[in-house]
Every structure is written in C-alpha cells, then in structure tokens.
Structure 1
Amino acid sequence: MVHTDPDTNQLKCMTGMRFFSMIAVVVCHSVMVSASGFVSNPQYIEKMTSDPKSMSYINCHPITQTFFVMSGWLLSYHFFLSFEKANFQFTHILYAFIHRYVRLTIPLAVVVAITATWLPHFARGPLWDQVVGREYRSCRKNWWANLLYINNYYEEKNMCLPHSWYLAADIQLFLYSLLLLSIIWKNRRIASKVFAASLIMGVLVPGILAYIHDIHIVLRAYPENLQTRLVNLPEWSYFMVPGHTSIGGYTIGLIGGYLYYKNRNKKLFAKTYQHILWFVVVFSFPLTVILLGLLLHDDNYTPSSLETAVYVGLSRNLYAFGMCLMIFGFTQNIGWLVNDIVMIPDLQFLGKFSYCVYLVHFTIILIRSGHTRSTIYISDPEMIHRAIGDVVISTVFGVVLCLFVEMPTSALEKLIMSKERKSKVG
C-alpha cells in the first residue's frame, strides 16, 4: 500500500523526528552499557537517580513510543489513502505485510548472522565474554525467534539482540492494526468506537499487568540491574518488551493518521492561542513522564499497587500523545524553530538510515565496552564522549548496512511485487 501525493511532503517531519529519536536511543543504551562496566566511582551511578538531567537517559524507555506512533500514523494514513480509489481486497493486506516483513527481516537477518558467528572474534578484553558472550550465545540459540518476530515473548530474558524487542512488537502491532483498519474500512461509522476500544485496552492492559504482578513503578537503573542490562527484572518481561503493552501508543498513531487523512486539506490550528497550547501540551506531557522518574526513583517513596498501575497504564500513552500532537502540529506548519530543525535536509537524509543504525548500534556499544582493558572514571564529560563516539560509529555502520543490504533488498522486493501484480492484472 504505497501511495504518493502532495500531502505526503508534510509528513517529512517524521524523518527528522526519527533521526533525533534514534540518537536518543543510542545515547541511552551507551550510558547504560558504560555504567554496567568496571567503573572506579560507582557512587556516580548511585547518584544518577537523583539528578534531573540524568532522567533523560535513565527513564528514557518511553522514547520508543515515538516510533510506534509514527508507524501507526503512516499505516493508517496510507491504508485509507490507498483504498480511496481502489477496491478493498485481502491481497492488498497480504502485500502490505510481505513488504514490511521483507524490508525489516533481511537487514535483521544479516545482523543476527554476524552476531552469532563473527562477533566473538572482533576483539578481546578482560570483560569480553561477560559483555559480548551472552549476546552471541543467545543469537546462536534463539536466532529463529527474531526472524519470526516472537523474540519478545519466547525466552525474552535470553533474547538475541535485546533491542530487537521493538521490531517484534512493531510487527505484531502492525498485524493487529491491519485488522482494526479493515474493520473500520468496512464500516466507517464505527471508527471512533473501534479506536476508543483499542486505546482503552492500551491503557488498561499494562496497568492491570502492573497491578497483578506487583512490578516496580519504573525500571530501576541500579548498578546490579545494569550488569544484566535490565533483562532479569520482572518489568522487562511484563511491561517493557511485550507487544500488547504498546497497543496504546500504536493506536494513538493510528488515530493521528486517520485524522490527518480526514483533515489533510484543512487548517486546524490558525489562532495564536492554539499554537501556544500546542507547545505546552507537546512538551509538557513527555517531559513530565520522564522527569517523574526523580520522584519514582526515590528510595523513600513507596508507591501503592494502584499508583503503580495508574502510572504504568498512562505514562507511555501520554508520551505517545505528545509525540502524535507534535506530528500533527508540524503538518499544520506550526512549531517555528522546532519544525525548521526537523525539516533540515541533512537530517532528513540521515533519518533514512535510522532503521539500520538501530539494528547495529547495540552491538557497536557492546564491542566498545567489552574491549575496555581498565577501569573507567564515569563523569558527565566521559559519558558524552562515549555517547558521541557510539552515535558516530553506529551511523557509519548503519549507512553501510543500508546501502549494501536494505536498499538493494527493498528495490528487488518492489520489482518482484510489481511484476506479480501486473501478471495478476493481465
């Protein structure tokens, strides 16, 4: 379901947002892995949970909701746009899934294969097996779960490429959303009811799971937890990686795409007070979710099960709502300097490599950390230095993967699919 029209140019803001979100993810993982190594001042890590600026990378897991929002938005918009002048057929849904599966899987398979075979031989160091060993052993054992996109449910504590949980959740929510959109297409009058039901489920499911399993209100970024990259925490299995706990964020994206489709030729934010309100909501919601980590990491604060359920149910969804409203504002040409930044041509160009950068970045970070041969003194400048290095190197290898694997595969897939469609028409 690929459709191009002038309105699509307004959605280029997503490429810039994707670039900045990717940088944020790499920085968060860089800090996490750096803090899990042999540090000479572990008290720095202990104090991070009481430092406001540290919340941006300690309590940063809601950032992935930005990707879910954008995926849901684009799926919804292109779904309705594609069937505007064409008859709805199941084969179109099948083609959409095949296109997405092939595009995501081939580069993923290459990274999994390299991790399971060559990774152990890339470098050496006293921490090499501790840092890297678990990674390649998990890939040798559970590589197939990644290719089937069930790795966020099957042995999620021993997941090959732990950051690939997002890809599995994205595919699962993509299929779920295709079902929702198909139902809505058959009966447009129930669109609001279907979206509302899905959104309510997206809030209730993680909240109820948090209440039942009595999980902690946030992922505790303590040294002992960072040593295992958080995967042994119950929050990882019950809240962080399952696809069903991100239904809310994806649904918010679906709603945004549908509303944009319905109002793409209208000017909705014309008054100054609306622009001001947009700024307040867009930045206050995500920042509040992240900075609340200061209170929630306080050892003197013990939330009740109900408080935990409310926060877990609402936090990522409020963050997703802020990101969705940001996109909607950009499509209405508001945002001033922020809009100008995400539309910078160079960032638009780099944003096209985001997927491959995401695939390789965690392995790059592990190699750097595992190769360390002495203790490190952690400080803000040291963290920044390491994060910048990880971002640059990950981008370089991500570009290589994109140019030599993703782009050729995508071009070949489009050629084969176009010939298949033409043969059926003929």
Structure 2
Amino acid sequence: MGHFEQCLSAKAPFLTQYCLASITANIPKPAASRDHLSLDFKPYDSIFQRLYKYNDVSQQSRNVIKMGWCVPASCSILDLEEYLNNYLNKTDNFIRHNNNVTYTAQFSSDLCQNAVEAQYFDNVDISFCFLAVLLIVLVIMATAYDYVKTGRELDEKPFKTHFPDPSYYMVSVAESLSSKLIMAFSARENFLDLTRADESNPSLSILYGVRTIAILAIIMDHRFGTFISSALLNFNYVELQYRSSIACLLFHGDLFVDTFFVLSGLLVVYSLLNQFDKRRMNPGFIILLRYIRLTPVYAFVVFYYATIFNHTGYGPLWKVVAGGDSKDCRKNWWTNLLYISNYVNADHMCMTHSWYLPCDFHYFIIAIGLCLLIKKEKKIGLGTLLVITLTSVIVPFALTILYQRPALLYFYPEFLTGPKVHTDFLLTYSKTHTRATPYCVGMFAGFLYYKLKGSDLHVCRTKSFGIIAASLCLMCVAVFSGKVFYDPYHDYNAIESASYAALHRFAWAVGSVGLLYVTSFGHASFMRKILSWRPWIPLSKLVYGAYLAHMQFQLRSAARFMNPRQITYFDVMALSLSDMVLSFLTALCLYLMIEAPFRRIFRVLLFPSRESPPKTVTENSTVAENMINNNNHPQQDSRL
C-alpha cells in the first residue's frame, strides 16, 4: 500500500494524489491437475498452482494485487492505466518469458485521492453541523431551565404550604405549551426515564435482556465481516474458518436479526390486542405514530452518513468503503425515510444494515390489520395469520429453486466487499416478502402472551426442561447445519438448499419463542434472573440508536487501513467490545438529543390532555400514548 499520508503531504511543485493500482497476473491453467477445492498445497509444486484463479468463491484470489502509487494529481486514470500497462507489457522477466504470464493494470477513481478533496465541505455538510450544534444547545438550555425550575419549586414549596392560593395553584399546575416543549429537551428528565421499567406484566421483563444480548451479538458479527472485507495478510486463515463448525456462529449471525423480528411481532400483537380491548383506533393514526417514533433519530443518522461521516477519516480504501456509503445516502436518503429502501434503488441503499427497518415497518402495517381481524373474528384472524406464515415459508423455498440460489447468504469475499450489489442480498436477504417467517412466529407468540396476561400459569419442571431442550435443539440445528452448505465438497441440490432456506429461520424463531415461554412461565429461574437483570433496562432502551450507529465505527475502521493486517479472533473480539461501548455511548447522545425529546414533543402536540408523561405504562394508557411517550418499555416498543 505504500505510505498514504506521506504521499498526500509531499512537498512538491504540483498537487499529488495517491492511487491503488490493481494488477492482475493472467496465469495459464497449470498442466498438473490438483484438487482445486483443497486448501493444502505441496511445498514443491509450481507456484502457479497457488496463483491460478480456480472456481471457488470461498478462496481469495492470489493472482491480483493492489499496489500504492504516488503520482501528480494532473495524471488521469487513463494516463496511469496506459503507462503502467505499457511498462508491464515491455518488461521482460523469467516468469513472463517462460510461462506465458501476462499482466493487466487497472485504476479506478474510487481508489485515487488527493489532499484537496478530503478538505472540501459543502453546504449540506455545514447544514448538518448547524443542526447538530442547535440540538446540543437546546439540550443544554433545557437542562439548565429544568434545574432552575426544580430549584425554584423546592424553594416555593414551604410558601405554598403556609399560604395556599387557588390562583397560584392554577398557574403552577397549568404549564404553558412553550414550557413543555422546552422541557422535552431536558437531559435530566430524559436520562431518568432510561432507568424506569414497566411492571404491568412481569412475564415480559425478560425482553430487556434478550434485546440487549441480541444487539451485542449483531455488533460482533458485523465487526467480523467488516474486518474481513479490508486488506488482510492471512486470508488463508479465514478460508479455514469458512469450513469450521464453530465459525458458523459468526457466519450465520444474521439469525440474531431474526430474534428482533420475533420480538417485534410479539410486542406489536400483544400491545395492539390490549389496545383494542379498550377502544378501536384509526389504523392510519397508529401507523403515523409508529412513523414519528422511528424516523427523527433515523433521519439524523442518515443525514450524518450523507455529510460528516465522509470527513471523519481517510485512507487508501476510504472512498470505496466509507465514501461509497456516504454517496449513496446523499442520493437515496428519501427511500430510507419512506421505508422502501429494500425495494427502491436497493443496490445503492443508504446504510446497508438499515434494510431491517423497512421490513419491520411493513410487517407492522400488516400486523394492525391482522389484530383487527383477530378481535372481530378470532378463528378467521388466526387462520389468516397461519396462511401468511405458511406463505412466508414457501416464498424463499420457491425463489431458491426458481433462481437456483444457495441455501443461505455466504459471507464470502464477493459479498463482504460489495454487499449491496450481491445477488442473494438483493433477491432474498433484504426483502420484506422473504424475511417474514420469524415475525409471523412472533405474532403467534404475542397472541399467546395476550391470552396468558394476568394468569397464574406455571409450566411444570418436566415440561420446562423438555421445551428448553427442544428449543435449543432447533436453534442449534438452524445454526450449525449451515456448515453443510459452506463445505465446498458438498454438491448443490436445489431442493435441499430451498428446504434449508425456507425452514432454518422458522426453526430459529420457534426455538426462540420456546425459550421465552419457559423463561416467563416455567422452571427457568436462572435464565429469568439473567434476562431480567436491571442494568439491561437502560441498555435495552438504547438498542435502536446502537443499531443505527454501530456500523459507522466499523466502516471507518475498515476504510482507515493503511497497511494489510492479520486477523485473529482476539483482535475481532477486542474491536467488537470497543464497538459496543462506542455504539451505546452514541446511542445515549442520540436518545438525549433527538429520540426522547421528539417523542415528548409529539406527545404534547398529539395528546395535550396529559399534563406530563406517565412514569410507567399503565393498563389505562392507550397503545397510542405508549407508542409516543418517553418510557420506551418493552410492552409497547417493538423496534430494535
């Protein structure tokens, strides 16, 4: 890679630029045959056995290298390609002369950078900075106002006790609208809400821990993927891991996203059925509340990706890894805010990991209709949900056979270096109609929790252990059977691949619900104590922000590689822990600046009759109020 920083800071009479040239050695097929799927090479075999590009997507190409060049910025891409190709074709060497090896050089504008373009801020970048500063100032001023107001009330309390005045009480109780809007940004009030838990249904308190543990696993999995997508020296080690049984936990970590789909379906159905017991609401209004709850902080993060994120670092791979995402956010931000990014311009999606949000939003809309049908005609509603569940299983089965696709999305280099344009990501991984199975299973679980609310059900010890064993078995089969398809010696069978594609997410979802059921109502006190641990409460309320923010740290790290590195599990784990800390700290800032304040503001505007947000979700509160208030309790919060 050379010395990137030295190149851009070189003192020369002309502007310099750094470019990474891709040089491909066009190697003839070796005469001696070998097992091209094997990772073992005999030390006395020809080097061309190792360098030849065999048809195995799990192996990194050894015939392509990238070489750092420091050249004048006035040199165009065509100039550089022409010069280097001429040099390679004219230079004679032993390998080229005796083995008929030729070389081809390619340059790309995304792999060329100069010092000037990295310093340029446009009006959009400045607009984001202005917005961020404005929000910070509002939080500081509102917090100061809150402390002054609280101190004044404490000072005036003795006076109110000895000299009661009806007009005084009327003024003090009836807060003005402006005061409420200012208090919405109070960091003190919003921070206190983080530690408040809902106790109306103790059986759902375990969801605090489930959500937090699931997001930690996703962050670790994404760190592993972004590390592999960068420049590595020991990619042979990664190739061995693709064939390892233990590594399936990392290469099949997408199942933890299915856990969130299960939780989302459970919570939405449970909340809506409770709401419809009190009174029916306009479905359009419920969808609006969902939108204004999710979107403010989401829009802010998208705005950040489209602007300042591109200025947070530099490196040889910056424009490809980080700059590409920023460019896509500038162009396609509107698809994210309309929750259609997994269908419209999906190959240039802003924030690749955000594909989850449109899926969840679409399922939420469907869940409203199903809950209304269940309340009106229970058997018809549950039957319709069953049909939708079966359809969600059949769809990936049919697509896999129709397009002859693999059983799962392989985390091979071709995907990790270009996930947005990968065929399987666009066809089955990120689409709403292919990922609905866990959400449907979660909706059945939500109906079950709704029916058991307030009951004294307690699953006996024998049944508890039986359900736990069966659930763990299903989940382990869903994860570790993926090794069969990662084995390059395993012959492709369309029916087999389609069956796994259709059923492994269903198995994971059913296993997850089984564990939740026993933990809530059975003999699983150890699991219940762990998942109901009080520190999970504030962390679980920051999960949404952590999910939105965590990839920026990982993409930045991958794009900042100045030289190839070696990968080890210890390094990945260490970096994952730092990602977790940084992600939750960022989520806390987003919560205090945007998420909690805007929910308070919308609550004041939409529900003016409530003088102040309730400290806990009560049975008398409507789902609409719970969806928009500050508490973010698991019973009504089905987001990540």
The superposition leaves residues 209-240 of structure 1 with CA deviations (integer Å, 9 ceiling, x where unpaired) of 11111111122222233211x33322111211
- The answer on 1:129 being equivalent to 2:322 is no
**Of the two structures, which has the highest relative contact order with CA contacts closer than 8 Å and spacing of 6 or more?**
1
Question: Could you give the per-residue CA deviations for residues 271-292 of structure 1, whole angstroms, max 9, x where no partner exists?
Answer: 2211111211222212211111
Paired residue for 1:151, among 311, 316, 341? Answer: 341
Residue of 458, 483, 486 corresponding to 1:297: 486
Distance 1:302 1:179 in 2: 43
Asked if structure 1 preserves the Cα contact closer than 8 Å seen for 2:461 and 2:522, the reply is no
Q: Indicate the larger mover: 165-174 or 410-419.
A: 410-419
Q: Is the 8 A contact 1:184 1:190 kept in 2?
A: yes
TM-score norm. by structure 2 comes to 0.63
1:69 matched residue in structure 2: 262
Does residue 1:108 correspond to 2:301, yes or no? no
1:403 aligns with 2:596: no
Q: Is the 8 A contact 1:36 1:223 kept in 2?
A: yes
Q: In the aligned structure 1, how far is the partner of 2:265 from the partner of 2:578?
A: 32
Inter-partner Cα distance in structure 2 for 1:285 and 1:133: 41
* Length-normalised TM-score, structure 1: 0.93
Query: One-letter code of the match for 1:54?
Result: A
What's the offset of the Cα at 1:420? 8.2
Which residue identity lines up with residue 506 of structure 2 in the other structure?
N
What is the CA deviation profile of residues 73-101 of structure 1, one whole-angstrom value per residue up to 9, with x for unaligned ones? 11111111112132x24x2x223211211
Match of 1:204 among 377, 387, 394: 394
Tell me which residue corresponds to 2:359.
169
Q: Does the alignment pair 1:54 with 2:243?
A: no
1:82 is the counterpart of 2:275: yes
2:551 to 349, 362, 368: 362
Q: Distance in 1 between matches of 2:491 and 2:606?
A: 55
**Residue 267 of structure 1: how far off its partner (Å):** 4.6
The equivalent of 1:263 in structure 2 is: 452
More strand per residue: 2
Distance 1:272 1:334, change over 3 A: closer
Q: Find the aligned partners of 1:76 and 1:241 in 2 and give their Cα distance.
A: 23
Q: How many residues align?
A: 415
Query: For structure 2, which runs of at least 5 residues remain unmatched after alignment?
Result: 1-196, 612-640
- Structure 2 SS opposite 1:373: coil
Of residues 567, 577, 580 in structure 2, which corresponds to 1:378? 567
Q: 1:123 and 1:359 mapped to 2: Cα distance?
A: 19
Q: Distance in 2 between matches of 1:56 and 1:231?
A: 22
**Matched residue, 2:618:** none
Structure 2 CA distance for partners of 1:413 and 1:328, relative to 1, 3 Å = farther
Counterpart selection for 1:349 from 527, 538, 551: 538
- How far apart are the structure 1 equivalents of 2:607 and 2:479? 45
Q: Structure 1 CA distance, aligned partners of 2:547 and 2:278?
A: 36
SS of the residue aligned with 2:420?
Answer: coil
- Listed as ranges, the gaps of 5+ residues in structure 1 are none
C-alpha distance in 2 between matches for 1:412 and 1:302? 58
> AA paired with 1:274?
K
Contact kept? 1:195, 1:251, Cα under 8 Å? yes
The AA in structure 2 aligned to 1:80 is L
Deviations 1:40-83 (A, max 9, x none): 10111111112222111111112111111111111111111112
CA deviations over 1:21-44 (Å, ceiling 9, x no partner)? 100111111000001101110111
SS in 2 for 1:309: helix
CA contact (8 A) 2:470 2:511 kept: yes
Q: Which has the higher helix share?
A: 1
Are the structure 2 counterparts of residues 420 and 306 from structure 1 closer, same or farther at C-alpha, using a change threshold of 3 Å?
farther
DSSP 3-state at the match of 1:244: helix
User: Structure 1 residue runs of 4+, over 6 Å off?
Assistant: none
Match of 2:227 in 1: 34
Could you say which residue in structure 1 is the equivalent of 2:65? none
Q: How does 1:219-368 map to 2 (within 5 A)?
A: 219-228=409-418, 230-368=419-557
